[in-house]
A and B are shown apart, each in its own frame.
Chain A
């Protein structure tokens, strides 16, 4: 849940990157961390397993400047993608204001994309949130694998699998090369701020 601190004149917003395991959630944050190094005052916090997989979450706070005299502080989180960590994913979703769903374009990941999105819907319900109402952006990641001859799903197939009902903004991207990573981030920030403004009114 976003928090407005009138004393410090700041707004804190929580955005969570969600998606199937090895889909590129942490890589999105790594790219943002490198790209905006000068705006990020602290180190990115990652709680990983020994095998370098996300165990609990990654955390990256980003200041995006002022709106109406208030500092806007965006707190980016990822969830652990592995199937067995659903209890942890639920915890990270506590108080979420906006979501980026990072799906994997590889054909072999089709089922995982659909299942993880369905589970995200259920997890949101457990926090009394509706997937159709919360600010949400889809990112179809790993387009860079096209050049390596890996069989990928088309944009239309991804839309049909994941976005038919949601009808939210979606971008094909590559977290490794940075393609559409910033576009995705800007979109979710603007959607979350608009949703905030509506709540305030």
Chain B
């Protein structure tokens, strides 16, 4: 069991909002490997079931990680599902937590990857602190 301070959560929320929502990401969620939702920010237009999404996302990420190890990789660094209207991008913040971004066609994958790298760096610092 673990907890994160209110200050840490507020800092994380601010980063997600300023760095990801502003570039057009529809929804961003930080989950742990158990499927718990640690933080979630959206543009107010998303209306899906975040709890179930987090459980499935954690399972999906764990499954892909296990597949990577079976073929001799530490991990697959890009984990991305493209949809007609919405796409999902997964990245690992550390061994315990993941960043998930849901975004539309108006956000380029390359730009998103750059931004998520920045965000991960910032969140790692907060998490460690």
A residues engaging B (CB < 8 A)? 1-7, 12, 14, 42-43, 45, 47, 56-57, 59, 61, 73, 75, 77, 87-88, 91-92, 94-97, 196, 199-200
Contact = CB atoms under 8 A, between A and B. Distances in A.
Given A5-B37, A6-B6, A59-B52, 7 more contacts: A4-B1, A5-B9, A42-B49, A45-B52, A77-B55, A94-B33, A196-B1
Contacts, number: 85
A75 B55 contact: yes
A92 to B, nearest CB: 7
What's the dominant secondary structure at chain A's contact region? mixed
A47 B49 CA distance: 16
B52 A42 contact: yes
Given A88-B63, A94-B33, A3 B5 contact: no
B93 interface: no
Interface in B1-51: 1-6, 9-10, 13, 32-38, 49, 51
B59 A57 contact: yes
A62 to B, nearest CB: 10
Classify chain B's interface size. Answer: 20 to 34
A6 B12 CA distance: 13
A14 B35 contact: yes
Given A7-B9, A95-B32, A12 B37 contact: yes
A103 B79 CA distance: 37
A14 B63 contact: no
B58 interface: yes
26 contacts: A1-B34, A3-B1, A3-B34, A3-B36, A3-B38, A4-B2, A6-B5, A6-B6, A7-B6, A7-B9, A14-B35, A14-B36, A42-B51, A42-B52, A43-B49, A45-B55, A47-B59, A56-B63, A57-B55, A57-B59, A59-B35, A61-B51, A61-B55, A75-B35, A75-B36, A95-B36
